[in-house]
Structure 1
Amino acid sequence: MNFVKTFLFLTISCNIVLSQSYQIKDIFSQYVLREDFNVENKIFPIEQNENQFAVFLQSEGQYFIGSMESNFNLILNWENDLKDYEFKTAITLSPEEKINLFQTESPQKFGIIIQYNPDNQEGLIFETNSSKKYRLIHMKDGRNKNLTFSSSNEDGWVKSNYLRKNEKNEILIKTKENHFEFFINGQFEFTINLNKKNITPLSPGRFGFSLGTHTKVKIDYLYIATSDAYTGINQQVRLTNEESKKLIQENEKLQQKLISHTTKKEVELNNVIQLLESELKNINIINDSLRIENSKFEPFKDIMDSSTDFLYTLSKNLKEEIQNNRVLKNEKKILLDSIQTLINNQEIFKLEYLNTLITIEKKDTID
């Protein structure tokens, strides 16, 4: 029995030594995805129901995901075409003593889904739990295979000296040519060559997260970077110093132009506002004047309201008055004409009388 234990220990130790002999020396300096969760991003799904949730905590700059009675797998809406890259994130599991959701002694469990291909359900999951342990799983065709082992034979779980309980943990994964290296909080944890595990190179696949039951985790950031030689679909715009300076200068010119244009528009807008205010003031004056004029007709309001025939009666009476005035004017004219005729006749009579007197005087004088 002791021999068997010794053999297993030596075998595991040799595997660890051999696995740690390979080192990925590439520098992955070209970022193809940088997410700090300050604003909502369609790459990271948002959902919420009675058994699971995934939300942005923008004020805290975090992505908050959780599960209740069942596991929760979440795939990112990001098309990956990388095979050689590094994946970096920082997570914090909710302190278990502050959660009243746990009904068993099972620890919280959080996993990073790596290069998952939905066609054959193949990919990797690097899991950590609240008991400061980790494990690596190979998924394919609905079956899981543990790629990590420990002497305690705990379903692939391995105790880590670098995981921190109830604190933030940074995880870095590097991969090249089917080799994978795993770092926890800046410390190298382990490496694995999938070729030696008879696992063919994985397709680029999708990334995501996997949560066990009754797990809550906050993610501070997620960065994916690859080599400078990468020119794929996720390549970001990269500029030289001269190009950057030129863009900055152009941006400053545009800002000045925008400020000048904005100032001009503000002046024009202020002029329009002043004109409108003046027009409004004039309208108010006119309205006040109309109100004063209308007040003069208030006494007639009751009359108007009490008699629906008021306008008809008023119009009829006015018409009669106008007609009577016309008749009186005509009669006055006739009377004036008659008087004038009398005056004219009187004048004629006077003239004839005088002429007669003159004639008589002449005759007496001759005699």
Structure 2
Amino acid sequence: MVTPERISLARKRRSLTTVELARRLGLSAQSVTNYEHGRQQPSERTLQVLATELSFPEAFFHQPCCDEVPDGSAAFRARSQVSQRKRAAALSAGTIAAEVNAWLENLFTLPAADIPTLERPDPETAADMTRARWGLGNSPLPNLIHLLEARGVRVFSLPREHTDVDAFSFWHHGTPYIMLNMAKTPERSRFDAAHELGHLVMHGGAKHAHGPVAEQEANTFAGALLMPSTSIRAAMPHAPLLDQVVTTKRHWSVSALALTYRLHEVGLLSDWQYRSMCVELSRCGYRSSERQGIERESSQLLSKVLTALRRSGRTMQDVAAAVHLTPDELSSLMFGLVMMSVEGGSQASVTPSQARDNSAEHALTLV
């Protein structure tokens, strides 16, 4: 028996309208609508074609109805610039990531959520309170994805076709999620992760997370979390030179423009100095890339999960089949992590840019 909602979810995941999917299937749009609303079941042959066109295993469509992440519950950056179709496609990836997480939680004891949900303090205070709660002091933060995972946030990567979506966050059944766009620079992705944490902390995931005010609050939170004002003022002179900014940005693992904005925010750059610095950084190409950039951060939790699964005898194909996805679809949500054969026929989880920071320990117990 095909679950109608699964057809809709898969279609939205591929960013298709009912008309576009119908055209691919050689059917009428009404037939596709009937399938998605349960008024008609697709034939075995139609299901085969449907699965092929949407790049999902047939088993995916036979699973029970899933609890989709609704548009109103997710905090999108630059929401007004992202079309409804693109938001639906990104949200469907979030729904599938939540299903993958549910499967993992049946096998492992994963870190519980430890996210302060503050009563809308100012962003600087919220960032300071978050650092204090987590015992982070005022030093530069380690690998931010590792830190978030250790505090119970499930961090997944957005498939690369979602280039128009920087990142988004949501709560799902009491678990916080952040979906990150890995097509951005490593510094930008790190700032995006801090921005989304700001939404989770200050806006309850989405209750107050929409609009320019909420976006500015999350930006300020991210800057304060990554670059505490007391440390920035102690480390940087008034009116620093461009070379000093470019050199110091690596200390905080942020972009040159993010550091420049923060210097202006804490009063170390005047309005004129800030504008002049931004113009010079743009002229040097820092709006699109970072010279002497940092290593891309990836998921330690998912890497450990895949390693544990490999040790239990499972392959990547086994894991993908268990969650009713293709290996490529699963990997696209897991930072490109795959399980590759190594000496002796065993397998290991790897990523093109494997993070080496082990400061965030995880409660990862096979049950």
- Both proteins in one fold, TM over 0.5: no
**TM-score, L = length of structure 1:** 0.20
**TM-score, L = length of structure 2:** 0.20
More strand by share: 1
